[in-house]
A and B are shown apart, each in its own frame.
Chain A
Amino acid sequence: MTATQPDVAIPGFLHMIYPYAGEQEYLSGTLAYIEHARASGGNVVVAAPPARREALSAALSADAGVTFVDTDALGRNPGRLIPAWQEWIGRLARNGAVHGINESVFSGRSPAHYGELRYQEWLLNLAFARTPALALMCPVDTGGQEETAIEALTRCHPLLWDGAACVPGTAYREDAYVFEPLPELEEPAEQMAYDLGTLHEARQKTLGWAMANGLPSTRARELTLAVSEVAGNSVLYGGGRGTLRLSRQATALVCEMADAGVITDPMVGRIKPPEDQLGGRGLWFVNQLCDLVQIRSAPGQGTRIRLWMDLPPQQA
């Protein structure tokens, strides 16, 4: 096994997982990574939950030159992670290679959230495949997690940080991502077919249902806008029509739309559209508005998109 140091001459994109157990192991592994990065003159960006940022910050000197970014500000939707990294890298890349620490919180997530987080980790390989000098180390707290869950995450990372060096991962799957089947929604409260002539009706139905089920008015309007975007895509690209199902889950409202179209670009809605480009913003809006977005699409099966909006704690 050949060790690769994440130095200034990063050969393209290095994406590594760092499974750790406990804060001590977290700190030793991440500090070693930062030390390597600084030694090579690269920029270091740490995107981690507040407690991890505080622990790292306390262990680093004030002049360590590490940039901390607030992942809480991204909200809960994993679909916002890739554009956030693009922005952070864009700010720093002109000053040389970027070495990132990319930590998401996996524990306590619903199966749906967990699945999308894992998919997001796999998509990072596509999103930054052509980035010339970027290393992303993804710490994963193994405490309280099933071994199979860690294995599944390992399959999304070509490389492994072993606490001191970057080594090839052994479980990485380069071929197409395999989704677990979407579980059936609980008995939907509302269902309707839509086309161009009934888009407004679909919006009205969504808004009324969302507010009746405890979503505050602004969030209900945002969910309605997201539904409008997906339904509009059905009209334009999905055979002109689709079906909307509305289902209340324990802690969230879910709107599912199905149509006959096929989405072939896995990055759709996950890359911020250039300002000078007109159009191409529908699914971008959806990812920015919703707490979770699940897209399943395949030839012969059409497309199913689920939009999740978390209920306020008192409504959940």
Chain B
Amino acid sequence: MCWQVSSPQEYARGRRELIAHTARSGARLLIVGGPAGTGDDAGSGRVIDTALDTALDLDPALDVALDSTSGASWERPSRVLLPAVRREVHEAQRSGQSVRVLAGMDHLARSQQSLDELITHEMDLGELATQGGTSVVCAYSRLVWSPGVIQDVTAVHSRVVGLEPRAAVFRLTRADADSWNLEGSVGLESLRPFSAAVRGALARTPRARLRCTGLDLVDAAAWRALVESVTQTRGGSLVLEGANETVRTAWRMSGYAGYGAAIEVRG
């Protein structure tokens, strides 16, 4: 889920509600980072001991500090934290607890980061959500991130929340081990997040299936992006399943079936 946060107060309120709700449900909550300038205890680096001892803060700032002498990149927080979060999730699941993750993206990534990198981080976090009983909320502060970036990253989230949230016009989310759901319409305005999301999907499942029952249309520029993404992925192939007649017609008209990209479009 992508949470578009308008103010530190909104984040603090939502965070409290999530902690309380998680406590009531008996689940375990991991809080990773937090929006910049919240003035809250998010990102403080201490483990917070809330009701039922279910919340754990993992602070990316510490990892950055540890690595500052070696010119740490901003990728460090997510590289370090993701395995830590994954361990926490596995541990909780072994003890029979479901897990919720609140990821403050203002600390896990930087606003100047390329969209490709950002979507890669998001898809890494999304992998957690595909594991049974885990839900991941990615919080983006509107004070930090440009509206376009916040809109683009929603393409790899299954839900978008916040005050008047802006959502991408397509969505690519994990369905199961080797397949993804592709929904909405993909046009010129979505090429950057679409290419990034498809490359991210192929990086995780080189022989991927895209379930397209919720896909309305794909324009010529987006077909090109799809073909380029597949041909640039060694061993990459895509099967678009459940495509409507318009999508199948557009693929046939494109003639890209003869281009050499391993793409198949089925009804």
Contacts and interface: CB of A to CB of B under 8 A. Distances in A.
B246 A236 contact: no
A229 interface: yes
Interface string A196-236: 11011001000000000000001001101100110010011
A281 B217 contact: no
Interface in B223-267: 223-224, 227-228, 244-246, 249-250, 253-260
Q: Lowest 5 A-B CB distances belong to which pairs?
A: A275-B258, A281-B220, A232-B188, A221-B246, A200-B169
A57 interface: no
Given A278-B224, A285-B253, A221 B217 contact: yes
Contact of B187 (A232, A274, A284): A232
Contacts of B246: 218, 221-222, 225
A285 B220 contact: yes
Nearest to B216: A221
A285 B217 contact: no
Contact of B256 (A196, A197, A232, A275): A275
Q: Which label, helix, strand, loop or mixed, suits the secondary structure of the B interface?
A: helix
A272 interface: yes
A243 interface: no
Interface in B160-201: 169, 185, 187-189
B256 A225 contact: no
B189 A218 contact: no
A188 interface: no
Contact of B255 (A197, A222, A272, A282): A272
B188 A225 contact: no
A200 B245 CA distance: 20
A225 B217 contact: yes
Nearest to A203: B185
Contacts of B223: 281
Contacts of B253: 281, 284-285, 288-289
B217 A235 contact: no
Contact of A200 (B185, B224, B259): B185
A279 B188 contact: no
Given A200-B169, A278-B227, A281-B254, A221 B244 contact: yes
